[in-house]
């Protein structure tokens, strides 16, 4: 599973970062159209996780992954004729996005299905490292072929995904019993829900808190993901920007597994403060500009991502009696909402900052949001009685 996770992102990121180049330079679509296509495709990829979770409950985790990989294989194969047709290329992109939406909740659920709660941090962090290793190596591996032999590149990625699908066919099916998400009283770990926080509105609210924190986490993080290139390349160089992205992915691969148990042991309130604090400091350093500021800011944002993204998944699992695939589908939906909101708000905010020749102020504004938004969220949680910590450090 971990090897396939690496190959999946290796193949995906050999292609997807260059789709904007394909659509704009080769097929002649306007930048506004390209931006709209990519925004909708991203929303489908994230929010469609709910559909992937529902499919997993109906046909099983392994079968869902096989369907998803078949869809993605067809999508990458369709890019080959899409090199001469904008409509086919856009359709291929949406096939790839739909396949990712179906695959990721089932993938994470398969890893943690039947595992002890104490084993989940290591499993999820190892999976994240495998995915990020592929993200780091995919773009440079594909760079020599993007402009000279794109058809060979797309065909090769389609063959890679077909091989990964065959590998998934060899996986043993999950034999654990399914649990009705509407079931009351007992979680998947067999613990009884007791106290006000686990019944009625409190139970729903406690499950909702990791969802909302995930929305805010991805909302803040995607400013960095979407707009660093516009800011960094003119002030440094394209090669430095590429080095920052590769270093970022490599740091995730190396740092996440050894930090997983520490993150799992953090009180949720502490993890929220640490994660958003690191993101706020990172955005402020990026505002300073230059190689040191951008490089150090990326390191701090990487720390914030490691803490928040893993902790939110672990909390969502611990608070819900639903099957893991359903939980991860909801988390993907939360990520989609955050990414979409960030794209809409960020474009307007960056445009205003650029028009006023105050682009560093854009990053300072994002840094301020990173500090203010979680504080407001925790105040709302306290008023609704959802922020009382249990003995194991959960809110």
The CATH number of residue 335's host domain is 1.20.1250.20
Domain count, the chain: 2
Q: What's the pLDDT score for residue 31?
A: 60
Are 125 and 255 in the same domain? no
Are 165 and 267 in the same domain? no
- Compute the C-alpha angle 300/304/305, nearest 5°: 115
pTM of the model: 0.74
Domain that holds residue 108: 2-169
**Residue 390 is assigned to a structural domain of this protein:** no
**Residue 389 is assigned to a structural domain of this protein:** no
Are 245 and 329 in the same domain? yes
Whole-angstrom Cα distance, residue 240 to residue 236?
A: 7
**Residue 278 is assigned to a structural domain of this protein:** yes
**Residue 180 is assigned to a structural domain of this protein:** no
Please identify, among 113, 134, 169, the residue that sits at the C-terminal boundary of a domain. 169
Whole-angstrom Cα distance, residue 252 to residue 302?
A: 7
**Residue 7 is assigned to a structural domain of this protein:** yes
Are 358 and 214 in the same domain? yes
**Could you tell me how many residues make up the chain?**
395
Q: What's the pLDDT score for residue 236?
A: 85
220 contact partners, CB below 8 Å, separation of at least 6: 276, 279, 283, 342, 366, 369, 370, 373
Are 230 and 95 in the same domain? no
Please report, in tens digits, the pLDDT of each residue of the chain (395 residues total): 888 989 998 888 888 777 877 887 788 888 677 777 877 887 888 888 888 888 988 999 999 999 999 999 999 999 999 888 999 999 999 999 999 989 988 998 898 887 888 888 888 888 888 888 887 788 777 777 776 788 888 999 999 999 999 999 998 877 543 343 443 333 333 333 333 333 344 445 677 899 999 999 999 998 888 788 778 878 888 778 878 888 888 898 888 889 999 999 999 999 999 999 999 999 999 999 889 999 999 999 999 999 999 999 999 999 888 888 889 889 988 988 888 788 778 777 887 888 888 889 999 999 999 999 999 988 887 777 655 554 444 55
**Residue 184 is assigned to a structural domain of this protein:** no
Whole-angstrom Cα distance, residue 291 to residue 306?
A: 23
Are 158 and 279 in the same domain? no
Element (H, E) at 265: helix 238-265
């Amino acid at each position: 599973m971990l090897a396939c996770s690496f190959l999946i992102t290796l193949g995906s990121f050999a292609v997807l970062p260059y789709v904007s180049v394909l659509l704009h330079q080769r097929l002649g679509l306007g930048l506004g159209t390209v931006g709209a296509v990519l925004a909708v495709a991203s929303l489908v990829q994230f929010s469609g996780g709910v559909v992937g979770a529902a499919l997993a409950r109906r046909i099983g985790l392994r079968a869902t992954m096989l369907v998803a990989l078949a869809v993605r294989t067809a999508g990458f194969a369709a890019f080959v004729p899409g090199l001469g047709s904008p409509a086919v290329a856009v359709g291929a992109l949406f096939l790839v996005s739909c396949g990712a939406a179906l695959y990721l909740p089932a993938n994470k659920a398969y890893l943690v299905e039947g595992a002890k709660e104490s084993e989940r941090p290591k499993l999820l962090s190892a999976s994240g490292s495998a995915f990020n290793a592929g993200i780091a190596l995919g773009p440079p591996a594909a760079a020599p072929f993007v402009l000279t032999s794109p058809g060979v590149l797309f065909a090769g990625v389609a063959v890679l995904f077909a091989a990964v699908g065959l590998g998934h066919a060899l996986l043993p099916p999950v034999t654990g019993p399914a649990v009705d998400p509407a079931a009351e009283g007992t979680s998947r770990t067999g613990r009884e829900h007791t106290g006000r926080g686990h019944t009625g509105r409190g139970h729903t609210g406690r499950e909702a808190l990791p969802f909302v924190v995930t929305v805010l986490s991805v909302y803040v993080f995607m400013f960095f993901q979407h707009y660093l290139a516009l800011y960094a390349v003119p002030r440094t160089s394209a090669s430095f920007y590429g080095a920052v992205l590769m270093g970022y992915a490599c740091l995730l691969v190396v740092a996440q597994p050894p930090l997983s148990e520490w993150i799992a042991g953090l009180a949720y309130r502490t993890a929220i403060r640490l994660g958003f604090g690191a993101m706020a400091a990172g955005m402020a350093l990026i505002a300073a500009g230059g190689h040191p500021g951008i490089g150090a800011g990326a390191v701090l944002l990487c720390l914030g991502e490691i803490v928040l993204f893993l902790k939110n998944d672990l909390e969502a699992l611990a608070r819900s009696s639903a099957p893991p695939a359903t939980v991860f589908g909801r988390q993907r939906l939360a990520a989609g909402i955050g990414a979409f909101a960030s794209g809409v708000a960020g474009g307007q905010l960056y445009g205003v900052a650029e028009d006023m020749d105050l682009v560093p102020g854009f990053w300072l504004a994002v840094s301020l949001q990173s500090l203010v938004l979680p504080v407001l969220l925790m105040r709302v949680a306290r008023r609704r009685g959802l922020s009382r910590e249990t003995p194991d450090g959960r809110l």
